[in-house]
Amino acid sequence: MSQKIDFNKFAKRERVNFINSLSGFKSANLIGTINSSGLSNLAIVSSVFHIGADPALIGFIIRPDSVPRHTLINIRDTKKCTINHCGVGMTEAAHRTSARFDANTSEFTKTNLTEEYIDSYIVPFVKESPIKFSASLIEEVVIKHNGTHLLIMKIDKVYLCDRKLIQEDYAIDLEGAGIACISGLNSYHQTELINKYPYAKVDI
Amino acid sequence: MSQKIDFNKFAKRERVNFINSLSGFKSANLIGTINSSGLSNLAIVSSVFHIGADPALIGFIIRPDSVPRHTLINIRDTKKCTINHCGVGMTEAAHRTSARFDANTSEFTKTNLTEEYIDSYIVPFVKESPIKFSASLIEEVVIKHNGTHLLIMKIDKVYLCDRKLIQEDYAIDLEGAGIACISGLNSYHQTELINKYPYAKVDI
């Protein structure tokens, strides 16, 4: 028998923790950006989600009044970012990027994560990240009900630490790459495959 | 040294699998709806993501030309749905809901998942799901670059199989509830906690 939970009675912080965990497990990505003075920024973001394969699009949510504001400012300026998957050995450093460092501090200097510049792209990648890609802003949607911003980005160039991570069906083996996932605001998890099912058909 | 992967050279199906896995691990939710004739529908959706805690909002992407079209039609009609987390023992049934059943077939009759009606809500929940909630449509955003639909839903009532899943900080223990996550289109994973970190501060 299910138990109804009246989250409207929760205090503010408790409500934030409860609702943030309610959507399920989330992707763990470090978003790299650069400001107009050439200073890099790195922010852990758990809202990156798939929008479409062709054109190759992802989206993520940025709250302008919360920690990764520099990310939003920088992407508006340059239209560019890098998205770097967080490996299971990178979670402590990744989480540290969520501290409110000022605009003159690059999170790269406050963690053991290493700036990596690839193919003359102006925004740094995270060297330690096994799966990473560059992306360009194509649309900013304001969610009018709470003032958050949905950034829709086109996937440009993809880099893997090892081409063998591409499976027979061309899906990337995230688990084999040791990628973490997130629950709530601050729990990081590794994964264990339950099963990979074939394309579902009505008759089977 | 990272290896660049030119996904633009991939065949269509391979590109779909590759890009679908590129955003990272995804939430595993069964979305329940009901049509104007009272026929239920259930669809596995991996794009549910957190938008905000107050108001409590989640969003998900529906492609009108892909499998869960009935979900979109039904939500437009009734403005209501249920979102039911997929437990690790439910993944085979959950994946089966992605088969292209016709509009007159409820996925509940084609899987071992059980319709559950709670508190006179017109849309069924999934009885076996340990974490579930009802939600109401408040905004539909068309992503103009690929014609997909972002549904923004307000979280109404939340039900847990056990109140003890609420942790000290009020985050729900998704792992303790045995919730699965998804990679790509068809891989289901269980999780193992790496660490839960405190709120990140600049000075620590």
A49-75 confidence digits (pLDDT tens):
999 999 999 999 998 766 558 999 999
**A101 to chain B: closest CA residue:** B202
- A114-169 residue pLDDT tens: 999 999 999 999 999 999 999 999 999 999 999 999 999 999 999 999 999 999 99
**Neighbour tally for A118: CB within 10 Å:** 17
**Neighbour tally for A127: CB within 10 Å:** 16
Q: What is the pLDDT of residue A67?
A: 55
**B130 to chain A: closest CA residue:** A2
**In angstroms, rounded to a whole number, what is the distance separating the alpha carbons of residues A196 and B5?**
23
- A178-203 residue pLDDT tens: 999 999 999 999 999 999 999 999 98
Q: Smallest Cβ distance to B101: which of A53, A195, A202?
A: A202
Chain A partners within 8 Å of B47 (Cβ) = 49-50
Q: Is the pLDDT of residue B66 over 70?
A: no
Chain A partners within 8 Å of B143 (Cβ) = 51-52, 57, 59, 139, 141, 152
Q: Which has more confidence, A103 or A125? A: A125
**Neighbour tally for A10: CB within 10 Å:** 18
Mutate to test the interface with B, among A25, A60, A104, A164 (most CBs of B within 10 A): A25
Minimal CA separation from A37 to chain B, in Å:
22
Chain B partners within 8 Å of A21 (Cβ) = 171-172, 174
**In angstroms, rounded to a whole number, what is the distance separating the alpha carbons of residues B204 and B200?**
8
pLDDT band for position B63 (cuts 50, 70, 90): confident
Mean pLDDT of B11-15: 98
**In angstroms, rounded to a whole number, what is the distance separating the alpha carbons of residues B100 and A58?**
25
Q: What is the pLDDT of residue A192?
A: 98
pLDDT band for position B30 (cuts 50, 70, 90): very high
Chain B partners within 8 Å of A171 (Cβ) = 17-18, 20-21, 183-185, 187
**A164 to chain B: closest CA residue:** B3
Q: Is the pLDDT of residue B65 over 70?
A: no
**Neighbour tally for A112: CB within 10 Å:** 10
- B172-189 residue pLDDT tens: 999 999 999 999 999 999
Q: What is the pLDDT of residue A203?
A: 81
Burial A82-98 (b: 16+ CB within 10 A, else e): bbbbbbbebbebbbbbb
Q: What is the pLDDT of residue A32?
A: 98
Q: What is the pLDDT of residue B68?
A: 54
Contact call for A171 and B20, based on CB within 8 A? yes
CA atoms within 13 A on the CB side of A51: 29
**In angstroms, rounded to a whole number, what is the distance separating the alpha carbons of residues A12 and B172?**
15
Q: Is the pLDDT of residue B40 over 80?
A: yes
pLDDT band for position B163 (cuts 50, 70, 90): very high
Averaged pLDDT score across all residues of chain B:
95
Q: Is the pTM of this model over 0.95?
A: yes
**For residue A28, which of A160, A145, A165, A178 has the smallest C-alpha distance?**
A178
Quickly tell me which residue has 């269509």 as its tokens: B12
**A177 to chain B: closest CA residue:** B24
Mean pLDDT of A36-49: 96
Mean pLDDT of B164-178: 98
- A104-117 residue pLDDT tens: 999 999 999 999 99
- Reduced to 3 states (helix: H, G, I; strand: E, B; else coil), residue A65 is coil
**CB-CB contact of A24 with B24 (8 Å):** no
Q: Is the pLDDT of residue B104 over 80?
A: yes
- Reduced to 3 states (helix: H, G, I; strand: E, B; else coil), residue B16 is helix
**In angstroms, rounded to a whole number, what is the distance separating the alpha carbons of residues B168 and A186?**
13
Q: What is the pLDDT of residue A65?
A: 65
Chain A partners within 8 Å of B189 (Cβ) = 175, 191-194
ipTM over 0.85: yes
Contact call for A17 and B169, based on CB within 8 A? yes
